[in-house]
Amino acid sequence: MAGEDLDRWMERYQRADPEAPSVLVLTLSPQLLRFFRSQLASRELADDLLQETWLRIHRVRHTYRPGQPVLPWVYAIARRVRVDSYRRTRRISQHETGVDVLPEQPAQVETSSLPAFETLMAGLPESQREVVTLLKVGGLSLEEVARATSSTVGAVKQKAHRAYARLRELLEEGP
């Protein structure tokens, strides 16, 4: 299909023509799939990126400027989807640790001599308890805890430090 025809179909898509999405998908999907496959090894990932691209095109179809060529606009969106996917994959892989050999089981710690978690946490002021719970139980970052508690990162660090010091004291005191 010629570029001008694609442009017209995109304009029809913006005007909610029910035929336009299927024509655009059928026409452009093979090209987009080749674009993703040329840069990725996995067919499944390329299919996922193609689907994500069409979802984004649908969400931002109002940003297309009638009269402008549609292919550069579509490929800009596809490139953005690919970059976002790469960043998401990198972010996830940075938090994962590959292990060739499973580590040995840690020595059994006599847990009956340790106070219960709830008992330890009850010894902390509410603000420190909240910070420790969000950081350690919730797994949030310092910035996320600061946003959640309407606080600064520095204040969260200070509350966490004081809470950890108090918990050490409580553990040293024993039951």
pLDDT for the residue numbered 135: 82
Q: Which residues contact 80 (CB under 8 A, 6 or more apart)?
A: 56
CA distance 158 to 92: 28
**C-beta neighbour count of 26 within 10 angstroms:** 10
Domain ranges of the chain: 3-94, 114-173
Nearest 5°: the CA angle 65, 67, 69 is 85
Q: Which pLDDT band holds residue 54 (cuts at 50, 70, 90)? A: very high
Which tokens is 46 given? 């390329």
Q: What is the pLDDT of residues 86-142, one digit of tens each?
A: 888 888 877 776 666 766 766 665 555 667 777 778 888 888 888 888 888 777 788
CA distance 155 to 92: 28
Which tokens is 17 given? 């023509």
Write the class of the CATH domain 114-173.
Answer: mainly alpha
CATH number for the domain whose boundaries are 3-94: 1.10.1740.10
Verdict on whether the full-model pTM lies above 0.75: no
Q: Check residues 79 and 149 and name the one with the higher pLDDT.
A: 79
